[in-house]
Amino acid sequence: MGFSLTRHFCCCIPVRAGVIIIALFGLVLGGFITVAGSIQAAHATGNKVSYIIQILVYAILALFSVFGLVGAISKKRGMVRGFSIFLIVHLLLSIASGIYSLWSLFNQTQSYVNECVSQSGSGSTANCKSTVKTMKGVMVTVFICIWLIEIYGCMIVHSFWEQLRDENEMGLRNMAWKNAA
């Protein structure tokens, strides 16, 4: 029988458990953002393209998270590899759509201020500008944090795939040794 060390992240959590957690999180979060984004897009005024892009990206995340969940539970290397590749693609799409959303936010600042002023009454332009400025900072921070978490998740899933590959190679090597003896 071959010997393979189980890989860990955060010092003590097995990567297999991490992949299961990531897949469950992707399924729940992807589904939630898809539904919430659809509701928000229905009520949005102006450019809805950024909403639609975000909705599609996270709907696909929810779908592929099922592959990751099944692959991690059943230790199917191909499914885990597919999930790993998809997470990298999702990260790139998330970065692209996030940059577009931030670009839209920064280029439509005056329209957000005007909308805020019209909803809150006259004389509150300074408050609205301050609110929009704060919103920009929060959005940039949130996107960066999400991207860093996604990068770490990609590393965890890839590490589990490597573990499955190593276990498979050890099993094949052991079978060859038994047959040679």
Q: Quick: pLDDT tens for 125-157.
A: 888 888 888 989 999 999 999 999 999 999 999
What is the percentage of the chain residues whose pLDDT exceeds 70? 90
| pLDDT at residue 84 tops 70 | yes
Coil, helix or strand at residue 11: coil
| pLDDT at residue 11 tops 90 | no
Residues 6+ apart with CB under 8 A from 82: 64, 67, 71
CA 13 to chain CA centroid, Å, is: 20
Section 29-47 average pLDDT: 84
The per-residue pLDDT for 1 is 45
CB 87 within 8 A of CB 150: yes
Section 98-127 average pLDDT: 81
Mean confidence (pLDDT) of the chain = 86
Tokens 């090597």 sit on residue: 173
Section 83-110 average pLDDT: 89
Weakest-pLDDT range from 23-27, 73-77, 116-120: 116-120
Residue 178 phi, psi dihedral angles, 5° rounding: -65, -40
| pLDDT at residue 175 tops 70 | no
pTM given for the model: 0.77
Tokens 């992949």 sit on residue: 19
Section 94-117 average pLDDT: 85
CB 38 within 8 A of CB 55: yes
What is the percentage of the chain residues whose pLDDT exceeds 90? 46
Distance, CA of 142 to CA of 136 (rounded, Å): 10
| pLDDT at residue 119 tops 50 | yes
74 against 114, higher pLDDT: 74
